[in-house]
Structure 1
Amino acid sequence: MSVKRARRGQSETGDPLLLTPGPLTTSRRVKEVMLHDWGSRDAAFLDINRRVLERLPAIVNAAGTHVTVPMQGSGTFAVEAMLTTFVPPGGKVLVLINGAYGHRARRILDLARRSSVVHETAEDRPPDLGTIEGLLDSDRSISHVFAVHCETTSGILNPIAEIGALAERHGRRFLIDAMSAFGALPLDAARVRFDALAASSNKCIEGIPGLGFVIARQDALAETRGRATTLSLDLFDQWQGFVRTGQYRFTPPTHVIVAFHQALEEFFAEGGQEGRGRRYAENCLVLIEGMRELGFKPLLPPALQAPIIATFHMPKHPKFRFSTFYEGLKDRGFVIYPGKLTVADTFRIGSIGRLFPDDMRALLANVREVLSEMGIASLAAANRPLDKDLT
Structure 2
Amino acid sequence: MTRIMTPGPTQVPEPVRIARSLPCGNPDLDETFADEYRDTCRLISRLLDTENETLILSGEGILGLEAACASLTEPGDRVLVLDNGIYGKGFADFVSMYGGVPVLYTRDMRHALKADELADYLEKDHNFKYATLVHCDTPSGMLNPVEELCPLLKKYGILTVVDSVSGMFGNRLSVDDAQIDLLCGGSQKAVSAPPGLTFVTLSDAAKKAMHERKTPIASFYANLCTFDGYYEKKWFPYTMPGSDIKGLRAAMDLIAADPELYDRHHRIAEATRRTLTDAGLTLYPLDGYSDTVTVFEVPEGTTDTAILAGIREQGLMLAGSFDVLAGKVIRIGHMGANANDADMEDVMAALDHTLRALGVPLKKDLLATYKDYANANCEK
| CA distance in structure 2 between the partners assigned to 1:44 and 1:329 by the alignment | 46
SS class of match (2:176):
coil
**In the aligned structure 1, how far is the partner of 2:208 from the partner of 2:128?**
21
Aligned length: 357
Root mean square deviation of aligned Cα: 2.2
Deviates more, 1:50-59 or 1:186-195: 186-195
Q: Deviations over 1:217-246 (max 9, x none)?
A: 1353144125522011111122x1514323
TM-score under structure 2 length normalisation: 0.87
Match of 1:236 in 2: 225
1:93-104 to 2 correspondence within 5 Å?
93-104=79-90
Percentage of pairs with the same residue: 21
Partner Cα distance (2:72, 2:154) in 1: 16
Alpha-carbon contact 1:241-1:248 (below 8 Å) kept: no
| TM-score, scaled to structure 1 | 0.85
State the match for 2:37 in structure 1: 49
How far did 1:375 drift? 4.5
Q: What amino acid is aligned across from residue 306 of structure 1 in structure 2?
A: S
Match of 1:291 among 267, 276, 282: 276
Q: How is 1:8-27 mapped onto 2 (pairs within 5 angstroms)? A: 15-27=1-13
Q: 1:97 and 1:324 mapped to 2: Cα distance? A: 31
Say whether 1:337 aligns with 2:319.
yes
Ranges in structure 1 where 5+ consecutive residues have no aligned partner: 1-14, 382-391
Counterpart pick for 2:336 among 333, 353, 356:
353
Which has the higher mean CA deviation after the structures are superposed, 338-347 or 277-286? 338-347
Q: Which whole-Å CA distance do the structure 1 matches of 2:69 and 2:109 have between them?
A: 22
Aligned to 2:254: 266
Assess if the C-alpha contact under 8 Å between 1:98 and 1:122 holds in 2.
yes
- 2:91 pairs with 100, 105, 125, which one? 105
In the TM superposition, what is the alpha-carbon distance from 1:33 to its structure 2 partner? Answer: 2.0
Paired with 2:184 and 2:256, the residues of 1 have a C-alpha distance of 20
Pick one of 64, 68, 72 that aligns with 1:82: 68
Q: 1:338 aligns to what SS in structure 2?
A: coil
Task: Give how far 1:128 is off.
Answer: 4.1
Deviations 1:52-95 (A, max 9, x none): 111111122212xx101222111111011111212344532110
> Match for residue 362 of structure 1?
346
**Are 1:36 and 2:22 counterparts?**
yes
What is the identity, as a one-letter code, of the residue corresponding to 1:269? A
Task: Measure, in 1, the Cα distance between the counterparts of 2:324 and 2:98.
Answer: 27
1:122: Cα distance to partner?
A: 2.2
**Matching of residues 1-391 of structure 1 within 5 Å:** 15-38=1-24, 39-41=26-28, 42-63=30-51, 66-225=52-211, 227-238=216-227, 240-271=228-259, 275-301=260-286, 303-316=287-300, 318=301, 320-340=302-322, 342=324, 345-355=328-338, 356-376=340-360, 378-379=361-362
Structure 1 pair 333–221 and aligned structure 2 pair: CA distance change class (3 A)? same
